[in-house]
Amino acid sequence: MAAGDLLSNIELISPSQFAKEKIQAVQDYALLSARAVANLFRRPLYVADMIQQADLIGVGSLSIVLLTGFFTGAALALNSANTLQRFGSLTLIAQLVSVSMVRELGPVLTALMVAGRNASGMASEIGSMIVTEQIDAMRALGTDPVKKLVTPRVIATVFMLFFLTILADLLGLFGGAVLSTLSFGIDWHQYWSSGWQILVYQDVFTGLVKPVLFGFIISTVGCYYGMSAHGGTQGVGRATTQAVVASSLLVVVVDTVVTRLLMTVFGTR
């Protein structure tokens, strides 16, 4: 009886229906993102909500981002040292850590940490408001839920992720400097001078444009799954998991596309 009940609860859909649902989801996400951006040019702006979200997203993620950046830089220096020693190029550790952190690891790892912490929070918070009909109450009172809930989170995430990435890059360089100095005897001033001089405009631009895109993706995906939640508390749990998975996957995909695009524009080094 239990097996029969389980099989009866399984819903099979055709491939065409599955494709239609995914296309509909992409369309809904695009419309939500467009409305969130368009609301920037409409009043009221809910500045207090933006500041509150910036504190929750930026300050709340500061410790995990700094620790991730520091130990990523240290691990990068440690793992590259053995290879560089074989060619007598141990002094190039600073250049390797600097370029790797600024161009790729800093923005991507920061975005993944923020996605894991905040995309889930946005989805669960907004999803809970959906299932408890608080969103319907807001609409009944004449308040646009997208403008009130989504736009402040998008602005706060984009703004704070930009500065969190800069801090992660700095801590990554610092972590590489500490390990290189203590473990391999590299001069502290030589490390920082070499790491600074290797960076060019292309590296800095690439490393700073990515967090803007990643912040937009994380916030809009988290809010989309929250607004799409249904099915009570179980639906909120599913939305939370889907928000983290989708935002993390999109961060990696967009990183690859943006890196390739910027390499085409600026050329390879």
Q: Taking residues 54-61, report their average pLDDT.
A: 90
Give the tens place of pLDDT for each residue, 195-243.
Answer: 888 888 888 999 999 999 999 999 999 999 998 888 777 888 888 999 9
Residue 150 lies in domain: 46-260
Q: What pLDDT was estimated at residue 15? A: 80
Q: Would 31 be classed as within a structural domain?
A: no
Q: Taking residues 31-47, report their average pLDDT.
A: 88
Q: Would 13 be classed as within a structural domain?
A: no
State what percent of residues in the chain have pLDDT above 90. Answer: 43
Highest mean pLDDT among 37-46, 129-138, 246-255: 246-255
Q: Would 135 be classed as within a structural domain?
A: yes
Q: Would 10 be classed as within a structural domain?
A: no
Q: Model-level pTM? A: 0.88
Q: What pLDDT was estimated at residue 216? A: 95
Q: What pLDDT was estimated at residue 245? A: 93
Give the tens place of pLDDT for each residue, 77-129.
Answer: 888 887 777 777 777 888 889 999 999 999 999 999 999 989 988 999 998 88
Amino acid identity of 122?
M
Q: Would 195 be classed as within a structural domain?
A: yes
Q: Would 19 be classed as within a structural domain?
A: no
- Taking 90 as the threshold, does the pLDDT of residue 257 lie above it? yes
Q: What pLDDT was estimated at residue 2? A: 47
Q: For the chain, how many structural domains are there in total?
A: 1
Q: Would 34 be classed as within a structural domain?
A: no
Q: Would 35 be classed as within a structural domain?
A: no
